[in-house]
Amino acid sequence: MDKKSVLISASGRVSRLPPYLFAELDRKKAAVARKGVDIIDFGIGDPDLPTPDFVVSAASEALRDPAFHRYPRNEGSPFFLDAASAWMSREFGVEPGEDVSHAAVIGTKEGIAHVPVAFCNPGDVVLVPSPGYPVYRAAAILADAVPVEVPLRRENGFLPDLDSLEPSILKSARMIYLNYPNNPTGAVMSGEDMRRIVEFARREDLLIVSDNSYSHIRFDGGKPASFLQIEGAAPLCLEFHSLSKTFSMTGWRIGFVTGGTRLVKAFMSAKENIDSGVFTAIQKAGAAALASPPEAIADRVAVYARRRALLIESLRKLSWDVCDCPASLYLWAAVPKGWTSIDFASWLITASGIVVTPGSGFGTWGEGYVRFSLTLPEERIHKALGRLEQLEFHSLRGRTAMRRSRKCQEES
């Protein structure tokens, strides 16, 4: 018996998600790799340094405890929450109390993606930095909220231009995502800047969602900072801390949210209907990481600092316009005039086998830039720089070659 053909389509939310701009880059990368070219990939912000041995040991020991094989506590085990509280006290001077609470998340990506589900009604405006982590925009859309870009301009140190927002937008705004140290630009925010944001949020009745995933990856000697250090911020702020980048635990999927107790409870009331918490043995590993000595972080940051210095110095010798921002795992660089970021990134793969992330993937204000990740060993960075030097981007011959290649791409 023939069955009627049924076409099941995705929801309107899914259709409003931004297109996957990197599909063509992935195709080109695969095509170049099939030719036997050694691909040097600066596109992924996934630390190549291994997770510290003491963290692995803590997880291994915990795995042998049958009590940890059962459902975890959704908000997190007491030992992990105690470790998170001690971390906030030691690193930021945020002392535990009735007004501040913590909860475990399955990595900060999962956490920040669920904030609009807990706090936004359909049609609410969510302010998202541009350029910024694409999940902020996607999270708003999937909660039937409306993402509105807040420009991060180079001339303003890649800080949010809140004065550019129209009163009608602010009237409907429910929350603002912020991410400092910043991905993709590497910018940092001062305590005074944070204070102004808190005052703005209080005036406009906004929830601050602070993605503090790169808090300790700074190269300017500056101390890690938290919005919760600002007096009166806790009732307005949810801040997410990740173990992924600081301790090379991207695959472990663990972090925590901290902020005003009422906000954390509201967030968890939504989250507990979506997942069953973080595997308890992973929480043991996370607690060990959070309790580690400062050297465990400093040694890793020193490796990234050397890579960053190498890239900045060498790219500038090749006449690249590099933004010398002092933090995160990335380097933000302008593309040559006359090129879009995705066309330049695509050409770079074909011409040299080097992968960078086009800035347009981070929002409207990311156009005109590409992002380099610092998660490659120095020998691979040296090899990439050798290829770039051969391309002679800085010379007239190199610029002519780029224009000719671009014309060929358009004709094909």
pLDDT at 298 over 90: yes
Provide the pLDDT for residue 97. Answer: 85
Calpha distance 352→387 (Å, rounded): 6
Provide the pLDDT for residue 226. Answer: 98
For residue 166, name the pLDDT band (cuts at 50, 70, 90): very high
Fold classified for 12-50+295-411: Aspartate Aminotransferase, domain 1 (3.90.1150)
Q: Mean pLDDT, to the nearest integer, of 291-318?
A: 96
pLDDT at 396 over 50: no
Provide the pLDDT for residue 393. Answer: 46
pLDDT tens-digit map of 20-54: 667 778 888 999 999 999 999 999 899 999 999 99
pLDDT at 406 over 90: no
pLDDT tens-digit map of 346-359: 999 999 999 999 99
Name the pTM for this structure: 0.93
Among 25-34, 53-62, 68-77, 282-291, the least confident range: 25-34
Backbone angles phi, psi at 289, to 5 degrees: -65, -45
Identify the sign of the CA torsion 199, 202, 206, 210.
positive
Provide the pLDDT for residue 398. Answer: 46
For residue 136, name the pLDDT band (cuts at 50, 70, 90): very high
Percent of residues, the chain, with pLDDT higher than 90: 85
Calpha distance 272→276 (Å, rounded): 6
Q: Mean pLDDT, to the nearest integer, of 254-269?
A: 98
pLDDT tens-digit map of 104-115: 999 999 999 999
Provide the pLDDT for residue 410. Answer: 58
**CB-CB contact of 187 with 157 (8 Å):** yes
Does the domain at 53-292 match CATH 3.40.140.10? Answer given as no
In Å, how far are 101, 390, 395 from 211, measured between CA atoms? 16, 39, 40
Calpha distance 390→243 (Å, rounded): 38
Tokens encoding 148: 């509105």
Provide the pLDDT for residue 1. Answer: 52
Q: Mean pLDDT, to the nearest integer, of 213-240?
A: 97
Question: Which stretch of DSSP H or E encloses residue 369?
Answer: strand 369-373
- Domain range annotation of the chain: 12-50+295-411, 53-292
